[in-house]
Structure 1
Amino acid sequence: MKKIFFALIALAATVATAQEISGEATYLSKTKMDTSWMDENRNLTPEQRKRIEQNMKKMSEKTFTLTFNRNESMYKEEKELQTPGRGGRGWGNWMGTSMSGDKYKNLEEKVWLEERDMFGKQFLVTDSLHTIEWEITGEQRQIGQYPAIKAIGTKKNNSLDWSSFRRRQPRNAEEKKKDSIAMKEGRFEDVYEQADEIQVVAWFTPAIPVQHGPAEYGGLPGLILELNAGETTLLCSKVVMNPAEPEEIKKPKKGEVIKEEDYNELFTKKMQEMRQRFRGRGRRG
């Protein structure tokens, strides 16, 4: 069985370099969110809590499209139509464009680009490809019509990835009281923590011999069909291979070019300034 497995991977790699490939994959994303902070906010009415839960569900369940050829890929969120007069002004929409946007990858140039919008200013976040040291386990299963193989790796957490933060567990009654006060005052950074790394589990198929996958993930000898990273699951629901008129993948060029680390630092600074302004308004009544 193992010989067949590795022969399949070798064949996929050979085919990938021997012919042009293009396609489009649709992914459903779902993130399990920590809602414990709402339990301590006694000022929330049932209607407010319901509305917040609906907005959080909308933020945590999304649909994305990955357009790819052998060397390039573009990963985009499928946006819902906005109600006239309200488009793009919600907290979820603002956070979405500020923290993540269309993602472009070029395997040959080893470059990754992402379009983001911060307070109406457009940025082009650039960095080298996000690489993961994958361990291909050999475990196999069927995903839709494709045979899939399991791979495991670890990934460094992004400091702006809200889904990777979890509320720390207080060790005693005193810490619990301090955490409760911090939550009421909006000092979430004193209560929530982020691990340096998370485990990533991917299922890829050598039947589609491209080294692409959803979001920043890739680097396996086959398209990633399912991926679990922390509290987030990405599942491919549809694949269209070699369409008659493949969509052109255009390298993004608009926006101020900035390294990801510098963008994260700037974003954090802006968020702190915003919080101070809101606190000042609160003190003035």
Structure 2
Amino acid sequence: MKIHKTLSVICLTLFAYTFTFAQQDFQGKAYYASKTTIDMDGFGSPDMSADRKKAMMERMKSFLEKSYILTFNKTESIYTEEEQLAAPGASQGRGFGAMMSSFSAGDQYKNVQTNQLLQEQEFFGKQFLIKDSLPQLKWKMTGETKQIGQYLAMKATAMKPVDKMDFRSMRPNRGGAADKKADSAKVNKPIKEIEVPKEIEVTAWYTMQIPVNQGPGEYWGLPGLILEINADRTTILCTKIVLNPAEKETIKEPKKGKEVTKEEYTETVLKKMEEMREMYGGRGGRGGGRRR
């Protein structure tokens, strides 16, 4: 009975929105807030004080809390980070902090008709244009619903492979030799101090009131706009939607940077990270080379 009631509500809602999305020049803008939490107990030296960890979190806030705008039509979207003032000292530091300050993501373009994903990315002063196909997540519908603002949202889950360079899922490598052996089949290790899970569960909440195959970041593939994503330690939540804004924007493919594949870009970053590890002397070293 509950399922029939839900279906009736969805059908009535979709009928009410049919005219809006029938327009040939339809466009929308969705505003998202992204927040990532990090376990600071595993980073830095074991004797680091609570005050120093708190200060480090403040410096990293610009990396962990971001705002984005997704401009979309029926087949294309462009995902742009809103500019914000960095926290004092955010671009300073060594090791992990210095590495994170070197990343600067540009616009991300998705075309669900051509299955294309383009990402502008700056890394250590070099501009790249990463060309890839859209990730194919196997979404499972749960039948659960909730209200997000004025929209009825439906829940879907999927297992997502984790990119080696996705800092949002990076964890300190605490295990000893026995633990490393046990985890070797489960974990990729870009550098010795950090580990990344091979896959994570993603929960998405989408609305069929906006029947476009789009969502924030690399997420897409559901029969409605994705309003919320929960992936490991990251939550992305839609805070505002504007349909058919008075001033429409032209959604263009990014062109800036050296064209590379995702694999080529990852290889470049891993090489640079290894150079940095050598520079800072591996685990806890202070010199410019490796300690024996």
Hey, what does 2:68 align to over in structure 1?
Answer: 64
Q: Does 1:243 align with 2:245?
A: yes
TM-score (ref. length: structure 2): 0.79
Contact kept in structure 2, 1:28 and 1:61, CA below 8 Å: yes
Pairwise CA distance, 1:89 = 4.5
- The amino acid across from 1:144 in the alignment is G
Q: Does 1:101 align with 2:103?
A: no
Q: Does 1:140 align with 2:145?
A: yes
Pairwise CA distance, 1:239 = 0.5
Decide whether aligned partners of structure 1 residues 213 and 58 sit closer, same or farther in structure 2, where only a CA change above 3 A counts.
same
Match of 1:152 among 151, 157, 160: 157
Q: 2 CA distance for matches of 1:16 and 1:261?
A: 40
Q: 1 CA distance for matches of 2:261 and 2:58?
A: 34
Q: 2 CA distance for matches of 1:231 and 1:58?
A: 16
Hey, what does 2:254 align to over in structure 1?
Answer: 252
- The amino acid across from 1:140 in the alignment is T
TM-score (ref. length: structure 1): 0.81
Decide whether aligned partners of structure 1 residues 147 and 3 sit closer, same or farther in structure 2, where only a CA change above 3 A counts.
closer
Q: 2 CA distance for matches of 1:77 and 1:90?
A: 21
Contact kept in structure 2, 1:99 and 1:160, CA below 8 Å: no
**Alignment of structure 1 residues 61-210 onto 2, 5 Å:** 61-81=65-85, 89-90=91-92, 95=100, 98=103, 100-167=105-172, 170=175, 189-190=191-192, 192-210=194-212
Hey, what does 1:54 align to over in structure 2?
Answer: 58
Hey, what does 1:181 align to over in structure 2?
Answer: none
Name the one with the larger helix percent.
Answer: 1
Hey, what does 1:184 align to over in structure 2?
Answer: none
Pairwise CA distance, 1:144 = 0.3
Q: Does 1:34 align with 2:36?
A: no
Pairwise CA distance, 1:190 = 3.8
Pairwise CA distance, 1:50 = 3.4
Q: 1 CA distance for matches of 2:171 and 2:99?
A: 22
Q: 1 CA distance for matches of 2:79 and 2:140?
A: 24
Q: Over residues 58-112 of structure 1, what are the superposed CA-to-partner deviations in whole Å (9 max), with x where a residue is unaligned? A: 32111111111111111111121469xx999446697366374321111122110
Contact kept in structure 1, 2:207 and 2:224, CA below 8 Å: yes
Decide whether aligned partners of structure 1 residues 29 and 120 sit closer, same or farther in structure 2, where only a CA change above 3 A counts.
same
Contact kept in structure 1, 2:160 and 2:201, CA below 8 Å: yes
Q: 2 CA distance for matches of 1:243 and 1:87?
A: 38
Aligned length: 271
Pairwise CA distance, 1:9 = 9.6
The SS at the match of 1:217 is coil
Q: Over residues 124-159 of structure 1, what are the superposed CA-to-partner deviations in whole Å (9 max), with x where a residue is unaligned? A: 001001121111222111110001111111111011
- The amino acid across from 2:244 in the alignment is N
Q: Does 1:270 align with 2:275?
A: no
Decide whether aligned partners of structure 1 residues 261 and 12 sit closer, same or farther in structure 2, where only a CA change above 3 A counts.
farther
Decide whether aligned partners of structure 1 residues 7 and 247 sit closer, same or farther in structure 2, where only a CA change above 3 A counts.
same
Match of 1:218 among 211, 217, 220: 220
Structure 2 residue runs without a partner (length 5+): 181-188
Decide whether aligned partners of structure 1 residues 4 and 124 sit closer, same or farther in structure 2, where only a CA change above 3 A counts.
same
Decide which moves more: 10-19 or 65-74: 10-19
Q: CA RMSD in A?
A: 3.4
Q: 2 CA distance for matches of 1:109 and 1:241?
A: 24
The SS at the match of 1:102 is strand
Q: 2 CA distance for matches of 1:188 and 1:259?
A: 18
Q: 2 CA distance for matches of 1:34 and 1:243?
A: 40
- The amino acid across from 1:197 in the alignment is E
Decide whether aligned partners of structure 1 residues 25 and 276 sit closer, same or farther in structure 2, where only a CA change above 3 A counts.
same
